[in-house]
Chain A
């Protein structure tokens, strides 16, 4: 059974056109993460929520925003996508912070910007 579900699997958007990616979890985990992964690179953490507390990584562009309306759902909003934002976006969850709880990843959303 899928426990972290990302939609859509593939997303195509136009340059500058806002886009929202979604993630849902059935694990009731406290923490939800958004990672960006470009080709042949390691995932890069954009931000995370611990419950309702939002934490932005220092180098995450302002163009990226996130919402977590409840425990189960988390959204990634890209306000004005640029060509450089084309990437795989991965959502993950864990019970606790600090890398000492197992991570559960979704299948990712591959974003193409035209």
Chain B
């Protein structure tokens, strides 16, 4: 089973600050997911990446496969970015027909103050 660690667990920032959330995992993977969960409970998939870097608006996700590490960056943070950010990885071992249940990190609670 892949061990997934996220840091920090909680993060408070002032509006406009640059945010970095980190995710490390123990076993090589084919892809990593970054998810956002707002207080209401719904989850939004932000990125799925297997190498390099992806950018969407003010969000940037990077992954270093060799170091087994990924980061999520938020530029010019805004109070509406306040949410829990979760990284998730599938297990490496293939099992025919398996959903390859994702292993979720513990989440980073981000609060952006106006």
Contacts and interface: CB of A to CB of B under 8 A. Distances in A.
Interface of A: 31, 33, 37, 42-43, 45, 48, 50, 53, 55, 57, 88, 90, 92, 97-108, 110
Interface string B1-38: 00000000000000000000000000000110101000
Contact of A107 (B41, B88, B89, B105): B41
A98 B102 CA distance: 9
Interface of B is mostly: loop
30 contacts: A33-B99, A37-B41, A42-B86, A42-B106, A45-B102, A48-B99, A53-B97, A57-B101, A90-B41, A90-B43, A97-B98, A97-B100, A98-B90, A98-B94, A98-B100, A99-B89, A99-B102, A100-B30, A100-B50, A100-B90, A101-B48, A102-B33, A102-B45, A102-B48, A103-B45, A105-B42, A107-B40, A107-B41, A108-B40, A108-B42
A48 B90 CA distance: 15
Interface of B: 30-31, 33, 35, 40-45, 48, 50, 86, 88-91, 94, 97-102, 104-107
B97 A50 contact: yes
